[in-house]
Amino acid sequence: MSNQTSFPKSKYQVGLIGVGVMGEALISGLISARFPKAQIVFTEKREERAREISSKYGARAVDLTELAKSSDVILLVVKPQDLAELLAALADKLKKSAVLVSFAAGKTTEFISEKVGPNISVIRVMPNTPTLIGLGMAAVSLGKSVNAEQAEFVSDFLATCGKVISVEENLQDAVTALSGSGPAYFFAFVEEIIKSGISLGLSSDQATTLAIQTMVGSAAMLEQSGKSAATLRENVTSPNGTTAAALKVFNEAKLGEIVESAMTAARNRSQELA
C-alpha cells in the first residue's frame, strides 16, 4: 500500500491506549495523513507525557471510560502482560460498533474476544520499530467480526507508517520472529561489523559511517532492483575473491542454521506469550 493515504474526512473517532514510542508513531502517522486531530484521543497515566503528546500533536488526553465510550477504533498499544487487565476494564464500556486493534505480541484475536465478547471486532497487528520513522512493516490479521470498511481503514492508516501485509493469524508468530524482532537482528549484525572494522584498524567514526551506508545502500538496492537477495549476493561475489573468503567463513559457521534457530526461538517465545 502507498503511504500517501490521506484522511481529511473520516467518520471514525480513534482512541489510543498507550502512547509510548509506538503509540506516538501511530499518532504521528495519522496526523501526517491529515486525520483530524479533534478525532484522536488517548489515555496516559503520566501527566507530563500526556501534556507532551497533546502539545505536539493536538490529540486530547481522556480517561479510559471516555475513550471507550467515544472511540470507533481503539488501538491497544500495551505490553502483552497488561492486556487482560485492560480488556476487563474496557469490556462493558465499548461501543457495539467498535473495533479493537491490538499491537500486543502473542495475544490472539480469540483471547481478546473472550474478554470483550464475540460481537466486538478485533484486528491483530505485528508492527516493528522502523514504524517510528515511517518505514515500518506491519502484518495484519482480522478477527471474525471485522467488516471490510474497518479493515480498510486500519490497513490504510498503518500504511502511513510503512508497508502493510495481511496474513492468516496462525502465521503471526512467524511474522514476529521475522519482521517484529528482525530490526534487532540487523542492529546486532551491524554492531559486530563496526567492532570488526575497528579491530582491523578503522576509527570508530569511519567504521560506523562505512557500515551504516553499506547497509542503507544494500537495503535500497534489494528493494529497488527487483532482484532476489541471492542474486545480488552472487553479483558481489567473485570466485576466490574477498567476498567469497568472508562468505566461506559464514558458511562454515553454519550461518543459515544460526538464523533459523534464532528465529525459531523468537517464534516459540511469541507462542508462549499467548
| Range(s) of the domain holding residue 218 | 182-273
5 located within any domain: no
Are residues 163 and 187 both part of a single domain? no
Q: What backbone phi and psi angles, to 5 degrees, belong to 99? A: -120, 130
Are residues 124 and 66 both part of a single domain? yes
64 located within any domain: yes
CATH assignment at residue 103 = 3.40.50.720
Alpha-carbon distance 112 to 201, whole Å?
A: 54
**pLDDT score, position 111:** 95
CATH assignment at residue 235 = 1.10.3730.10
Are residues 62 and 186 both part of a single domain? no
- 74-93 in b/e form (b: 16+ CB < 10 A) is bbbbbebeebeebbeebeee
Residues in the chain: 274
Query: Going residue by residue through the chain (274 aa), what tens digit of pLDDT does each one get?
Result: 345 566 767 889 999 999 999 999 999 989 988 899 999 999 998 999 999 999 999 999 999 999 999 999 999 999 999 999 999 999 999 999 999 999 998 899 999 999 999 989 999 999 999 999 999 999 999 998 899 999 999 999 999 999 999 999 999 999 999 999 999 999 999 999 999 999 999 999 999 999 999 999 999 999 999 999 999 999 999 999 999 999 999 999 999 999 999 999 999 999 998 7
**pLDDT score, position 4:** 54
Categorise residue 79: left if φ over 0, alpha if ψ from -120 to 50, beta otherwise: beta
Q: Which H or E run includes 162? A: strand 162-166
172 located within any domain: no
Residues near 168 by Cβ (< 8 Å), separated by ≥ 6? 141
108 located within any domain: yes
Are residues 163 and 186 both part of a single domain? no
Are residues 158 and 193 both part of a single domain? no
Are residues 61 and 151 both part of a single domain? yes
4 located within any domain: no
55 located within any domain: yes
Amino acid at 32: S
Residues near 188 by Cβ (< 8 Å), separated by ≥ 6? none
Q: Which H or E run includes 73? A: strand 73-76
